[in-house]
Amino acid sequence: MEFIKIGPTEFIFAFLWLSVILIICGRAGGAFLALIKVPQSLAIQAELSLFSVAAGIILLALSVLGLGTAGLLTQKSLWFLLAALALLPSFLVKKNCFNLAAWKILMPKTKQEIFICLILMGVLILTCVQCGAPPIGNDALAYHLEHPKQFIQNHKISYLPLTRESLWPFQTEMLFTASLLLHGTTLAQLFHWCFYLLITLSAYLFGRRFYGNSVGWWAALVFACTPVVLAQSSEAYVDLSLTFFVFLSIYALWLKDEISDQKSSILCGLFIGAALATKYLALPVFIMIFILLGVRAKSKIAAASFFVLATFLVAGVWYLRSFLILENPFYPFLSNFFGGHGFGSGNVSMPVSENLFLRFLRLGWDLTIHPAAFGGVSIGPLYLMALPLLLFRINSARKESIYLAIFASCYVFFIFFKAQAYFSAQSVRFFMPIMPLASIGVACAIDRFQSKKNILSSLGICLCLAAILLEAGIGVYRASKSARVLLGLESPSAYLERRERSYLGYRYLNEEAPQGSKIFNAAEVRYFYNQQPHMAVSSVPLEQRIKAQGQSMQDYLEQQSFDYLWLSADTERFYWEYADKHSYQKVFSYSFTEGPKTFQSEILKKTS
């Protein structure tokens, strides 16, 4: 299987590649921070190294986009790019902001810190191990990995006709593209895992700086053990990348008193620009942070100018290319505002009813107790247990903490009321950008309990630890499913037969259909395991093109005369009727149970 490299040795090499790339990014980003004269005298030096890695990742993603746009997307070109990023900092600056020694601050000192650190290390290792299995995430196989695969096969990054996503902000997909070129899907999944690690470090550093060392440790542990975060950490998705850059933009803004309004605004703009270059969901965050900047900055006009300029330099290229090619910078959304270029989805007005408001009021309960409505993954009990306790301390809360609470609340409000039309079965992911802030709130509540030193507080701490260990146990269970294939006890093919619904169909077509056969896929949205070059896919863009040409779908199918049709029980009845009328016969069928649903699929071959 193309780009699938599985086994202990392959995993070790992939992890080494990740380590080398992160160090290169740290040095490249550190040189950039030094060039813009970010003060190197921060009270916590690890923050500079963290910001350096983030800036270097942005630079790497933009460089990969540049290579691909120029048609130079090859492994050799990528090696030269990494070498250039590694060597240039030495020529640009004498003192780099990135320093590995700065991370010694993470060494635990007390028994409690050692205990928390051991749990963190266990969870991080287990989630890291899961990255060694073949990818099975829906969106990963639909486009997060599929489009980078096509970019590599084409040796260039460009619009892929009849796709919905290939002109989306693809910063993280650029990292996946580089990963697939260097060491396959394991490295791609490890790259998303590294954002899990970086957010955990960021939560610790932010909590330590603004609320104390104990809060920092608890915040890192609470975030790292959140079930939805654990579930995302080993998949090639982009939600942790988005969360990282959103949180870092807040972090940079909160450092304005130490590094000045100007430098804080530049860093904040760079990081929110990276969030905008990752996913459209960063758009409301950009507006909210712009408002926060206006409230907190002393030199408001200058700070706003630097912020907007830095944001545009990082994110502008993604929206500009979509506008130039498809005349809609937010394609396929907001088509009503851009001459109908896009889909109707995203323009739906959700009715505001009493029922909707009641559902909003119990959102925290539902995300914890009834996760099935949000994709089946919970946020865990800690947030529901601890965050309400902070309401009793609101009179003594610092102004900065109130700002953070308002920011998080506004984001949740937006996602619930304004993004209802976009919600999918995995919508709990959309709340992740405020999880680091929420984890710091939980940590503050736990720390407050600890300070009481009575029976009630001891009981509260025991309950929190029990919840954390339960959530960590989920990670152990998930890792156990991946360990067998990583250790070579189960073949990748056998693993995928059990875990991935699209695999059996693709395996049949890849092995049994002659190479170059014309195949129409109306059954599956996950495309990564396809190796047939002439597979057409039923999609809204295809339907729009057929309609624009004055044809019907039947005209299209008759004109193309496909050799194979891949249909499912959920496929429109029209396709089944077409197959019956045009001499297609079943040559392969299978069923796959995923969650509560069983999928029934058939592959039909034209006999005359």
Reference 410, options 291, 288, 290, 272; nearest CA is 288
Computed over every residue of the chain, the mean pLDDT equals 89
Contacts of 138 (CB under 8 A, 6+ apart): 426, 525, 526
Task: Please give the structure tokens belonging to residue 508.
Answer: 């049949």
Query: Among 432, 466, 66, 36, which Cα is nearest to 226's?
Result: 432
Structure tokens at 238: 């982009």
> In the prediction, which pLDDT does 470 show?
83
Percent of the chain whose pLDDT exceeds 70: 95
Q: What is the mean pLDDT of residues 438-459?
A: 83
Over residues 267-316, the pLDDT tens digits come to 999 999 999 999 999 999 999 999 999 888 888 899 999 999 999 999 99
pTM: 0.94
Percent of the chain clearing pLDDT 90 (strictly above): 64
Phi-psi region of 488 (alpha: psi -120 to 50; beta: other; left: phi over 0): left
Contacts of 586 (CB under 8 A, 6+ apart): 602, 603, 604
Tell whether the model's pLDDT for residue 21 goes beyond 70.
yes
**Range among 196-210, 373-387, 452-466 with highest mean pLDDT value:** 196-210
Residue 465 has pLDDT above 90, yes or no: no
Residue 348's pLDDT is what?
A: 42
CA distance 546 to 529: 27
Domain boundaries of the chain, sorted by first residue: 8-342+360-483, 501-606
Scored b (16 or more CB within 10 A) or e, 73-105 reads beeebbeebbeebbeebeeebeebbbbeebeee
Q: How far apart are CA 308 and CA 562, in angstroms?
A: 50
Residue 317: both structure tokens together: 């290229």
**Each residue of 107-121: b (16+ CB within 10 Å) or e?**
eeeeeebeebbebbe
Q: Report CA 230 to chain centroid distance, whole Å.
A: 12
Q: How confident is the model at residue 425 (pLDDT cuts 50, 70, 90)?
A: very low
Q: Which residue has the higher pLDDT, 330 or 347?
A: 330
Query: With bands split at pLDDT 50, 70 and 90, how would you rate the model's confidence at 346?
Result: very low
pLDDT of residue 440: 95
Secondary structure (H, E, C), 58-79:
HHHHHHHHHHHHCCCCCHHHHH
Radius of gyration, CA atoms only, the chain: 25
Residue 344: per-residue pLDDT: 56
For the sheet with 535-537, list strands across it.
535-537, 519-521, 564-568, 597-606, 584-594
More confident residue, 41 or 345: 41
Angle (CA) 386-387-393 rounded to 5° is 100
Give me the mean pLDDT over the 528-541 stretch. Answer: 93
- Top-confidence residue, 342 or 354: 342
The confidence score (pLDDT) of residue 121 equals 93
Query: Over the stretch 170-189, which tens digit does the pLDDT of each residue have?
Result: 999 999 999 999 999 999 99
How far is the first Cα of the chain from the last one, in angstroms, to the nearest whole number? 32
Amino acid at 228: V
pLDDT of res. 395:
63
Residues ≥6 apart with Cβ < 8 Å to 382: 222, 226, 442, 464, 467, 468, 471
Element of type H or E holding 600: strand 597-606
- The residue ranking higher by pLDDT, 393 or 566, is 566
The whole-number pLDDT of residue 464 equals 83
Q: Which of 49-58, 117-126, 372-381, 529-538 has the lowest mean pLDDT?
A: 372-381
Question: Using 50, 70 and 90 to split pLDDT, how confident is the model at 351?
Answer: very low
Q: Do residues 179 and 188 make contact, with C-beta atoms less than 8 angstroms apart?
A: yes
Query: What element of type H or E holds 189?
Result: helix 171-211
In this structure, what are the phi and psi dihedrals at residue 349, rounded to the nearest 5 degrees? Answer: -90, 120
CATH 3.30.70 fits 501-606, yes or no: no
Confidence (pLDDT) at 184: 94
Lowest-confidence segment of 348-357, 440-449, 510-519 by average pLDDT: 348-357
Q: What is the pLDDT of residues 195-222, one digit of tens each?
A: 999 999 999 999 999 999 999 999 999 9
How do beta strands 597-606 and 584-594 pair?
antiparallel
Separation of alpha carbons 584 and 101, rounded Å: 66
- Across residues 141-149, what is the average pLDDT? 96
How far is it, in rounded angstroms, from Cα 330 to Cα 326? 9
